[in-house]
Amino acid sequence: MKRLAMTLLTFMALTPTAYSEIVTENIVYKHGDVPLEGFLAYDDSIKGERPGVLLVHEWWGLNDYVRERAKQIARLGYAAFALDMYGKGKVTKHPEQAKEWAQQLYNNMEIWQQRAQAGLKVLQKNPAVDRTRVAAIGYCFGGSTVQMLAYSGAEIKGVVSFHGSLMPPPAQPAIPVKAKVLILHGAADPLVTQEAMMKYIGDMETSGMDWQMVIFGGAKHGFTNPDADKAGMQVVGYNKDADRRSWEYMKVFFQEIFAPAPKDS
Amino acid sequence: MKRLAMTLLTFMALTPTAYSEIVTENIVYKHGDVPLEGFLAYDDSIKGERPGVLLVHEWWGLNDYVRERAKQIARLGYAAFALDMYGKGKVTKHPEQAKEWAQQLYNNMEIWQQRAQAGLKVLQKNPAVDRTRVAAIGYCFGGSTVQMLAYSGAEIKGVVSFHGSLMPPPAQPAIPVKAKVLILHGAADPLVTQEAMMKYIGDMETSGMDWQMVIFGGAKHGFTNPDADKAGMQVVGYNKDADRRSWEYMKVFFQEIFAPAPKDS
């Protein structure tokens, strides 16, 4: 009986508990001369290396929304790092300001990709991270950013774009794309026209990349952000169903890309 | 220690085991004067009512492929019933014959929907089934069929179409559609043109239905069937990644539709 109980205790130790503690930390780093400040979150009760997930903020900058997402990712057992694409403290609630900051990166693809890679390096170097198992997720502007990060040939297993614009894959990638791509898209997102969506699908098929796209009926731009409606923009809106479902699909995606490759039968 | 072990044993009893036994049974039933024979599968180790899943075969008829899928569904803990859309014993490997049988139903929407409902009734009446929690899934022709079943206003929680044609929703449904819709579609499926896909997305948005669509890069028609390539048809082909992923998404969908409604926060 004693031996049985020990076996059962071992079994239970392997199941997740509700008592894990999430540790967070602001990390200052640089891209060239630009000082940046990101946000790290991980479960302190997990010992050793674990998969790492990079998070890229919306066009507002690194705000509480993406910090909360980083903590949610940490609760899944991964090490999460929300990078900073704009510069230490550059956060806003004004669309005009957000647009200006995002535009500066849209207009310079090289800096855009390198800025994302700078954040990726911080995550990869963290001792809690198994650097062979890293993914990137992003919201809106951040969704576009993780697509661009994939196209840069970054050493990551996959990227997940939540209501990001659909970025055309490079016609001839300078270096092969290693990341699998999961696009989570709102059918009622007016920032992406039907024509743009069809062109994207065609281009992705030609690219030979490993890609999937989920289209959520009735979901607008920004469908994962409960505060989306506060911005007072017609095109954005929270959608609870699409929020919950897209998160579940992301978890399935992580299970695949962070697992050993399935054996051929 | 004894009490602890007992508690742990109770805990373990609630976790699924690898030793469950799948019971199968051929069930003869009728739609009007047409004799039909379906295939039931369920886990005998589960007591009492459980959610039920209706399966609709490809245009070949009720063959071993869909029987195997029914057993897989039963292993997930659901009661599975693979219905018969054509008539007892009507199974073929010849595309011309399959096309003829499918066409007879395509040409008569009323009979098509009623034939599916006849199978649904068999499942709903089964004592192992919680009839408030029933879904329908289908492959190719069967994928189209479950969409039509949803449009008929059937009392089901949801439908999943695996590489089915995209059926336009009724402009003004006679009765409200109760089922949530999950479409699992191959980006390289030549049976669905880009124009048809765009029209479908627009129509579904107008319909007000709860719908989602996953597009799998590189996947042809029939992507879930390991024997797809044997048919010698250019348009169909097995795709292991899309097969595995679509199955996982179906499981996520079932978890949602078979669970109690999420509380509003």
Residue A15's pLDDT band (boundaries 50, 70, 90)?
Answer: very low
Res. B9: pLDDT tops 80: no
Instruction: Give me the pLDDT at residue B230, please.
Output: 83
Chain A residue nearest residue B242, CA to CA: A212
Instruction: Give me the pLDDT at residue A150, please.
Output: 97
DSSP string for residues in A102-159: HHHHHT-HHHHHHHHHHHHHHHHHSTTEEEEEEEEEEETHHHHHHHHHHHTT-S-SEE
User: What is the mean pLDDT of the segment spanning B134-156?
Assistant: 97
Instruction: Give me the pLDDT at residue B19, please.
Output: 56
For residue range B78-95, what is the model confidence (pLDDT) as tens digits?
Answer: 999 999 999 999 999 999
Instruction: Give me the pLDDT at residue A228, please.
Output: 85
Q: How far apart are CA A182 and CA A211, in angstroms?
A: 6
Residues of chain B above pLDDT 90, percent: 82
* Out of B46-60, B63-77, B148-162, B222-236, least confident range: B222-236
* Out of A115-129, B68-82, B190-204, least confident range: B190-204
Is A214 in Cβ contact with B213 (below 8 Å)? yes
CA B4 from chain centre, in angstroms, equals 43
Only one residue has tokens 């990060």, namely: A149
A121-A123-A124-A130 Cα dihedral, nearest 10 degrees: -170
Instruction: Give me the pLDDT at residue A175, please.
Output: 78
Residue A19's pLDDT band (boundaries 50, 70, 90)?
Answer: low
Instruction: Give me the pLDDT at residue A229, please.
Output: 84
Instruction: Give me the pLDDT at residue B175, please.
Output: 78
Q: At A48, which amino acid appears?
A: G
User: What is the mean pLDDT of the segment spanning B146-155?
Assistant: 96
Instruction: Give me the pLDDT at residue A11, please.
Output: 45
Three-state SS sequence of B211-226: EEEEEECCCCECCCCC
Q: How far apart are CA A16 and CA B220, in angstroms?
A: 39
User: What is the mean pLDDT of the segment spanning B139-154?
Assistant: 97
Interface membership of B68 toward A (CB under 8 Å) = no
Is A249 in Cβ contact with B252 (below 8 Å)? yes
Q: How far apart are CA B39 and CA B45, in angstroms?
A: 19
Bridge partners, A52 (sequence order): A79, A134
Do A239 and A215 meet the contact criterion of CB atoms below 8 Å apart?
no
CB atoms within 10 A of CB B100: 12
User: What is the mean pLDDT of the segment spanning A229-258?
Assistant: 93
**In angstroms, how far is the first alpha carbon of chain B from the final one?**
41
Pairing of strands A79-82, A50-56: parallel
Residues of chain B above pLDDT 70, percent: 89
Instruction: Give me the pLDDT at residue B261, please.
Output: 61
User: What is the mean pLDDT of the segment spanning A46-62?
Assistant: 97
Q: How far apart are CA B134 and CA B258, in angstroms?
A: 8
User: What is the mean pLDDT of the segment spanning A25-54?
Assistant: 97
Do A133 and A51 meet the contact criterion of CB atoms below 8 Å apart?
yes
Res. B28: pLDDT tops 70: yes
Q: How far apart are CA B181 and CA B136, in angstroms?
A: 10
Sign for the pseudo-dihedral over CA of A57, A58, A59, A61: negative
Task: Read off φ and ψ for residue B184, nearest 5 degrees.
Answer: -115, 110
Q: How far apart are CA B144 and CA B150, in angstroms?
A: 10
For residue range A73-93, what is the model confidence (pLDDT) as tens digits?
Answer: 999 999 999 999 999 999 999
Interface membership of A3 toward B (CB under 8 Å) = no
Q: How far apart are CA A183 and CA B134, in angstroms?
A: 29
**In angstroms, how far is the first alpha carbon of chain A from the final one?**
40
Closest-CA residue to A20 (of A37, A36, A42)? A42
User: What is the mean pLDDT of the segment spanning A44-55?
Assistant: 96
Cα of A32 to nearest chain B Cα, Å = 37
User: What is the mean pLDDT of the segment spanning B121-150?
Assistant: 97
Res. A247: pLDDT tops 90: yes
* Out of B32-46, B160-174, B178-192, least confident range: B160-174
Residue A231's pLDDT band (boundaries 50, 70, 90)?
Answer: confident
- Of residues B97 and A262, more confidently modeled: B97
Res. B1: pLDDT tops 50: no
Tokens representing B121? 């009734």
Do A164 and A138 meet the contact criterion of CB atoms below 8 Å apart?
yes
CA distances to A156, B61, B97, B184, B191 from B94, rounded to whole Å, are 45, 11, 5, 25, 18
Return all residues near A223 (Cβ < 8 A) that are at least 6 apart: A162, A163, A186, A189, A216, A237, A238, A239, A242, A243, A246
Q: Which of B11, B198, B252 sits opposite A248 (nearest CB)?
A: B252
For residue range A125-141, what is the model confidence (pLDDT) as tens digits?
Answer: 999 999 999 999 999 99
Is B11 in Cβ contact with A9 (below 8 Å)? no
User: What is the mean pLDDT of the segment spanning A60-79?
Assistant: 98
Return all residues near B78 (Cβ < 8 A) that are at least 6 apart: B42, B50, B51, B52, B53, B254
Interface membership of A194 toward B (CB under 8 Å) = yes
Task: Read off φ and ψ for residue B38, nearest 5 degrees.
Answer: -105, 180
What ipTM does this complex have?
Answer: 0.89
Return all residues near A95 (Cβ < 8 A) that are at least 6 apart: A231, A233
Only one residue has tokens 């659901």, namely: B78
- The A residues from 4 to 43 touching B (CB cutoff 8 Å) are 4-5, 8-9, 11-12
Return all residues near A195 (Cβ < 8 A) that are at least 6 apart: none
Is A2 in Cβ contact with B2 (below 8 Å)? no
Q: How far apart are CA B251 and CA B265, in angstroms?
A: 25
Instruction: Give me the pLDDT at residue A79, please.
Output: 98
For residue range B46-81, what is the model confidence (pLDDT) as tens digits?
Answer: 999 999 999 999 999 999 999 999 999 999 999 999
Pairing of strands A34-43, A79-82: antiparallel
For residue range A140-188, what is the model confidence (pLDDT) as tens digits?
Answer: 999 999 999 999 999 999 999 999 999 999 887 667 999 999 999 999 9
Residue A17's pLDDT band (boundaries 50, 70, 90)?
Answer: very low
Res. A9: pLDDT tops 60: no
Do A88 and A61 meet the contact criterion of CB atoms below 8 Å apart?
no
**Helix B95-106, helix B109-125: angle, nearest 10:** 90
Taking all residues of chain A, what is their mean pLDDT, rounded to a whole number? 91
Is A205 in Cβ contact with B211 (below 8 Å)? no
Q: At B78, which amino acid appears?
A: Y
Instruction: Give me the pLDDT at residue B228, please.
Output: 85
User: What is the mean pLDDT of the segment spanning B13-27?
Assistant: 71
